[in-house]
Amino acid sequence: MPTLFKTIALVGKYESAVACGSLTRLNAWLTRSGYEVLVMPETVGLCGAGSARLASFEEIGAQADLVIVLGGDGTMLHMARQIANYQVPLIGVNQGRLGFLADVSVDTMIQTLQEMLAGAHQIEERILFDCRVEDSDTQLLATHAFNDVVVSKGDMGRLIEFEVYIEGQFVYSQRADGLVVATPTGSTAYALSAGGPILHPTLEAVVLAPICPHTLSARPIAVNSHFEIEINLIQAADARVHFDGQDHFDLSVGQRVIVRRAVNTVRLLHPVNHNYYDTLRQKLHWGEKL
């Protein structure tokens, strides 16, 4: 009987029949190996359950010792946010190309997972954001973000104006297409496209990167991850805030977005041979001849 992990949840990419074959195969192998397997009703509706037990996000968080996500980085982001309060570690199995988060290849899935479940893995703790949207003294929204929080112009495409405060201290007023506040994990996503630096995933820092600012002097900055960041919307015909590019909230002038580091972290498990710089080279094509 396995001792390191006893109950394992399997989560597949939503509405993806491609992940079903891998999920079914993995479920059968885990069951034969003596693990109790949990799956979500949405996964069962698409792929079937086999001998797995149905479980909600809350039940997975409370009962699972590990979550294996089959899909890509987007599916990993979604799952990380859903079980953020439970500290359940995640393993990502990538159905396509190598991902920044989902780094176990589906081609060697069983062999790699067998080694990892036996203890041959690296544990990595990553920063997660607690986010709020407020109007005066009223809280309008509370959620998490693993990659980034993006305050941006809406469908009308006009510049927005906002003020930024860090730890209650005024930083600047900015007219721009928006602002990206990114964790080290999210530093290789939208923030990188906006000219921000790449932060190592374990770094205790946060990136603020303006999006197309209406001044040449605006530059991305990195600050302590424990600092509270407040973004006040001063002027906008249409604006919204996005969380990991998956959820959004329409903003009105006078409302503010508050971003702070969550108490809990996201725990990722990697194979023992995982090398973050290998991933950067492959994803960003470093060193390739033109």
Q: Which segments of 51-157 are extended strands (E)?
A: 53-54, 66-71, 90-94, 104-105, 121-126, 129-135, 138-145, 148-153
Instruction: Report the run of H or E that residue 224 belongs to, with start and end.
Output: strand 221-224
* Structural domain range at position 149: 129-261
Same structural domain, 247 and 272: no
In a domain, 189, yes or no: yes
Task: Identify whether 2 is part of a domain.
Answer: no
Asked if 250 is an active-site residue, the reply is: no
| Helix (H) or strand (E) run with residue 228 in it | none
Does 148 reside within a domain? yes
- 210 - beta bridge partners? 179
pLDDT tens-digit profile of 100-153? Answer: 999 899 989 999 999 999 999 999 999 999 999 999 889 999 999 999 999 999
Domain count, the chain: 2
Q: State whether 100 and 151 are in the same domain.
A: no
Is the same domain home to 11 and 121? yes
Distance of CA 85 to the CA centre of its chain: 14
Tell me which residue has tokens 């397997």. 37
**pTM for the whole thing?**
0.93
Read off the pLDDT of residues 219-277 as tens digits, 9 standing for 90 and up: 999 999 999 999 999 999 999 999 999 999 999 999 999 999 999 999 999 999 999 99
251 in the same domain as 150: yes
Q: What is the CATH number of the domain that holds 108?
A: 3.40.50.10330
Residue among 73, 103, 177, 244 flagged as catalytic: 73
Residue 249 and residue 172 share a domain: yes
180-213 CB burial, b ≥16 within 10 A, e <16: bbbbbbbbbbbbbebebeebebebebbbbbbbeb
Q: Is residue 40 part of a domain?
A: yes
Q: Give CA–CA dist 244/200, Å, rounded.
A: 18
State whether 139 and 80 are in the same domain: no
Instruction: Say yes or no: 122 and 135 in one domain.
Output: no
Residue 1 domain-assigned (yes or no): no
Give yes or no: residues 209 and 123 share one domain.
Answer: no
For 12-29, b where at least 16 C-beta lie within 10 A, e where not — what string? bbeebeebbebbbebbee
**215 lies in some domain:** yes
Strand partners, 170: 165
